Amino acid sequence: MDKDFPFSRPKGVEPPAEYKELRSKCPVAPGRLFDGSKIWLISRHKELKEVLQDGRFSKVRTLPGFPELSPGGKAAAQSGNAATFVDMDPPEHTKYRGMVWPYLTPEAVEQLRPSIQAKADKLVDAMIARGGPLDLNEAFSMPLPFRVIYDFIGIPEADFAYLSANVAVRSSGSSNAKDAAAAADDLVKYMDNLVAEKERNPTGKDLISELVTKQLRPGHMTREQLVQTAFLMLVAGNATVATQINLGVISLLQHPDQLAAMKADPARLVPAATEEICRFHTGSSYALRRLAVADVQVDGQLVKKGEGIIALNQSANRDESVFPDPDRFDIHRQSNPQQVGFGYGTHVCVAEWLARAEIQVAIGTLFRRLPNLRLAVPESQIQYSDPARDVGLAALPVTW
């Protein structure tokens, strides 16, 4: 019997129990989506890496049979907007991804680190001025990545509040589909105007100005593609960064010995803790969907042309053959460079180094500046997201 997918987390942040069973018994397992279509679930680290660098699996979402998890996903796939590199295959993907990558390399992100630090410090100053208890998500974890990306894209400060409100409606699980679509339309219109402004005066040291001069003017990219790319960078991963900060704070508070070790040796253990947070919590766990465009054997199982696959990075991040005692949160792990929270291969998160730097600055700064940071409610009162969706939480009450 094919299993209905997605599965549910049994409680809190625990991954679905089915993952462990699939890893040991059926690493390439048949599953069924909401619309009845058949998919293959790839649950182990080894095969996940294989399929994510295999050109016979496509990411073009408009192809018939591409696996979508909900009717909303299907509608979005067919929206008719210009595709961005997320939904392209090489060589097109390589060309457009290459236009933003120079600004997101490890070296480029190191240049941004002082400004990420200044933003984190300013947010902590405001928290101290307000006094606890307060919601860490609202006061720190969400505004940090958004302010970083606003500067990166080139959004004027006067527009921050308007944009944040729209992004919140677009991304909130409690908004209805019509409100969310209207908010997304408003955001694209906003980006369109901003691009028009920067076309007249592309003098800033920001992504839109750079793309206008280096890609749009020489004719390497259309105006609509530029607008969609800026929009993508605005909405792609900031909420996920916030989730990793929130869940990281909770995990570190749950392990006071590890927290003490991190505080004593931040240069080494803040990056290590960040990697473990991204492994243990795997904030983006349904993105690695692909369509077979040829017959492919995966671990001896035939995946036929036209069938979808989902590479389960949340499961691969708990693969016992790669991460000993995988259900233990442990910032001292040696095997962490293998974690696949940012995906793997061709489409690996283009902003992975930026996201890492943000999480590192966030947890480093919070525990240094607020040494008594703690939850302001019993842990049992924390409300986690819908168990069949990416792990997250709506609010994180803290005090210090």
By annotation, the residues acting in catalysis are 240, 284, 349, 390
Q: Tell me the residue ranges of DSSP E strands in 153-282.
A: none
- What is the spatial distance between Cα 267 and Cα 359, in angstroms, rounded to a whole number? 14
| CB 136 to ligand HEM: min, Å | 16
Q: How far is CA 172 from CA 78, 165, 169, 177, 246, in A?
A: 21, 10, 5, 10, 17
Residue 333 in 3-state DSSP?
Answer: coil
Query: Where do we find the tokens 């939850």?
Result: 375
CB-nearer residue toward ligand HEM: 89 or 400? 89
For residue 273, with 0-12 CB atoms within 10 Å meaning exposed, 13-18 middle and 19 or more buried, which class applies? Answer: buried
| CB 298 to ligand HEM: min, Å | 16
CB-nearer residue toward ligand HEM: 82 or 236? 236
CB-nearer residue toward ligand HEM: 13 or 400? 13
- Tokens of residue 75, six digits: 């509608």
CB-nearer residue toward ligand HEM: 202 or 237? 237
Length of the chain as a residue count? 400
Please check whether residue 65 is in contact with residue 28, taking contact to mean a CB–CB distance below 8 angstroms.
no
Beta strand 38-42 with 308-311 is parallel
CB-nearer residue toward ligand HEM: 240 or 360? 240
Collect contacts of 381-389 with beta carbons under 8 A, ≥24 apart.
382/12, 382/250, 384/9, 384/12, 384/13, 385/173, 386/173, 387/8, 387/9, 387/10, 387/11, 388/6, 388/7, 388/8, 388/9, 389/6, 389/173, 389/286
From edge to edge, which strands make up the β-sheet containing 289-292?
3-4, 28-32, 38-42, 308-311, 289-292, 57-58
CB-nearer residue toward ligand HEM: 183 or 357? 357
Of all residues in the shown chain, the one whose CB is closest to ligand HEM is 237
| CB 360 to ligand HEM: min, Å | 11
- What is the spatial distance between Cα 397 and Cα 400, in angstroms, rounded to a whole number? 11
| CB 325 to ligand HEM: min, Å | 22
How many CB atoms sit inside 10 A of residue 277's CB?
29
CB-nearer residue toward ligand HEM: 188 or 236? 236
CB-nearer residue toward ligand HEM: 108 or 376? 108
| CB 131 to ligand HEM: min, Å | 29
Please check whether residue 67 is in contact with residue 359, taking contact to mean a CB–CB distance below 8 angstroms.
no
- What is the spatial distance between Cα 102 and Cα 29, in angstroms, rounded to a whole number? 38
Residues in contact with ligand HEM by CB under 6 A are 85-86, 97, 145, 149, 232-233, 236-238, 240-241, 244, 283-284, 287-288, 341-343, 347, 349-351, 354-355
| CB 300 to ligand HEM: min, Å | 24
Query: Where do we find the tokens 């048949």?
Result: 30
- Tokens of residue 37, six digits: 């279509």
- What is the spatial distance between Cα 161 and Cα 243, in angstroms, rounded to a whole number? 20
